[in-house]
């Protein structure tokens, strides 16, 4: 791809701005040699204002979404895109969140410009497990794990029952839940169905991938090892049997 188009697609600026940047000598190779609009050079060797370029198409990143931030490109803020470099919002193809977290939910959110990966992670048949931790307004009754694991619970205004989900009780009002699908407000609606209310909700893991100390509001690019983790099992402690486990 021509350098001008590459830089514009990565969101560094419009083609006109990138033509100016090239004329002004802001784009070099890794040896400091200025590049021109037709330069044919490996992505990894290009420097913009002395910095390596953002990854090419196929970028995947994780964000520790804080509560109170909306998963959307537009609307009343703050938005998850406000936590990322502004050029990411100008990339073509666009960077989209992999599914959504409610405004009040915190935790692991993936964003990518890789349409095939997005589909693989969000398609109804993908079944990549997502692990949530919920703090509840009332004590658990004791029958929730069996009900959630039964595959027979149909939520209000849904037509089909939920896929079996695994509940791990951490305390009287604290639980972890592994879902294999992603319905609207699913965790909150599941606890509402058993007469409870979710006071706070945090996504701990997607597949085997966890935040691992990433601070709220921070993000990092994911590499091939992280991608492999995505398709691994969630962290130990939650069985696939739906049995309630007490620590
Ligand atoms: N379930 C919810 O209720 N909210 C989320 O943000 C994610 C899952």
Give the chain's mean pLDDT: 93
Asked if residue 149 has pLDDT above 90, the reply is: yes
Catalytic residues: 102
Q: Percent of the chain having pLDDT more than 90?
A: 86
Which pLDDT band, with edges at 50, 70 and 90, does 239 fall under? very low
Ligand 1 centre and the CA of 225: distance in Å?
27
Q: What is the pLDDT of residue 4?
A: 93
**Looking at 1-5, 156-160, 210-214, 221-225, which range is the least confident one?**
1-5
Which pLDDT does position 125 carry in this prediction?
Answer: 81
Residue 90 is predicted with a pLDDT of: 95
| pLDDT confidence band for 235 (50 / 70 / 90) | confident
Read off the pLDDT of each residue in 108-126 and give the average, rounded to a whole number. 93
Is the distance from the beta carbon of residue 196 to the nearest atom of ligand 1 less than 6 Å? no
The residue-averaged pLDDT of 89-109 equals 96
Question: What pLDDT is attached to residue 237?
Answer: 59
**SS3 sequence of the chain:** CCHHHHHHHCCCCCHHHHHHHHHCCCEEECCCCECCCCCCCCHHHEEECCEECCCCCCCEEEEEECCCCECCCCCCCCEHHHHCCHHHHHCCCCCEECCCCCCCCEEEEEEECCHHHHHHHHCCCCCCCEEEEEEECCCCCCCHHHHHHHCCCCCCCCCCCCCCCEEEEEECCEEEEEECCCCCCHHHHHHHHCCCCEEEEEEEEECCEECCCCCCCCEEECCHHHHHHHCCCCCCCCCCCCCCCCC
Residue of the nearest CA to atom 4 in ligand 1? 185
Q: Residue range 223-240: average pLDDT?
A: 80
| 206 in contact with ligand 1, CB cutoff 6 A | no
247 band by pLDDT with thresholds 50, 70 and 90: very low
């Amino acid at each position: 791809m021509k350098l001008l188009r590459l830089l514009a697609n990565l969101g560094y600026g419009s083609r006109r701005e990138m033509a100016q940047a090239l004329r002004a000598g802001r784009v070099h190779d890794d040896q400091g040699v200025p590049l021109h609009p037709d330069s044919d050079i490996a992505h990894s060797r290009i420097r913009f204002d002395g910095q390596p370029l953002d990854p090419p198409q196929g970028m995947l990143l994780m964000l520790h979404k804080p509560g109170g931030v909306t998963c959307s490109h537009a609307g009343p803020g703050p938005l998850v895109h406000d936590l990322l470099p502004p050029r990411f919002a100008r990339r073509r193809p666009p960077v989209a969140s992999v599914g959504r977290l409610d405004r009040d939910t915190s935790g692991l959110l993936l964003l990518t410009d890789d349409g095939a990966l997005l589909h693989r992670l969000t398609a109804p048949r993908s079944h990549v497990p997502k692990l949530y931790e919920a703090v509840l307004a009332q004590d658990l009754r004791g029958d929730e794990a069996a009900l959630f694991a039964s595959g027979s619970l149909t939520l209000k205004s849904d037509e089909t029952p939920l896929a079996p989900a695994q509940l791990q009780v951490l305390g009287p009002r604290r639980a972890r839940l592994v879902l294999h699908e992603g319905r609207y407000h699913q965790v909150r609606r599941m606890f509402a169905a058993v007469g409870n209310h979710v006071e706070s909700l945090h996504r701990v893991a997607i597949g085997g991938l966890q935040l691992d100390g990433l601070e709220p509001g921070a993000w990092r690019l994911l590499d091939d090892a992280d991608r492999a983790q995505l398709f691994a099992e969630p962290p130990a402690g939650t069985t696939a049997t739906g049995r309630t486990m007490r620590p």
